[in-house]
Amino acid sequence: MTSDPVFMQVALELAAQAAAADEVPVGAVVVRDGTIIGRGYNQPIAGTDPTAHAEIMAMRAASQTLGNYRLTECDLYVTLEPCVMCAGAIMHARIRHVIFGARDPKTGACGSAIDLFAQSHLNHHAVISGGLLAAESVALLQQFFLQRRSKN
């Protein structure tokens, strides 16, 4: 997909918005037919909502755009490998393809800590692609946590 870097760049810009709000810098977009239909970034602290991860926020926005929670013809671009919660939501939404930037060895549910999409007994299996603009995603995360540690 030739537009993959363009969509991931938008997700990186959203991740920067999260960092500016003192949230872990993760951003996500949902794309259908080459158009962004949902955007989101991490905001569990601001929203006092443990489910307000970037992926969830982007899927909520896309669902509102389409008037349907099923996002069968959609792709999700996210700067960090989705966690178990987000992977479950991705399955329920029937996202077609997940493209992520940085791997998350501690909580990544697309192959790093666990691979939910490889579980044959589960009902939906999105195509998973990792590593797109990974260096940029990692740099945002590292800079955020370095600044956070220096404040303490």
Structural tokens at position 24: 């872990």
List 55, 73, 81, 136, catalytic entry: 55
- Among 106, 102, 107, 105, smallest CA distance to 139 is for 102
Contact (Cβ atoms closer than 8 angstroms) between residue 8 and residue 36: no
Round to whole Å and give the CA distance between 59 and 61.
5
The residues with which 100 forms a beta bridge, in sequence order, are 78, 130
Q: Is residue 55 annotated as a catalytic residue, yes or no?
A: yes
Known catalytic residues?
55
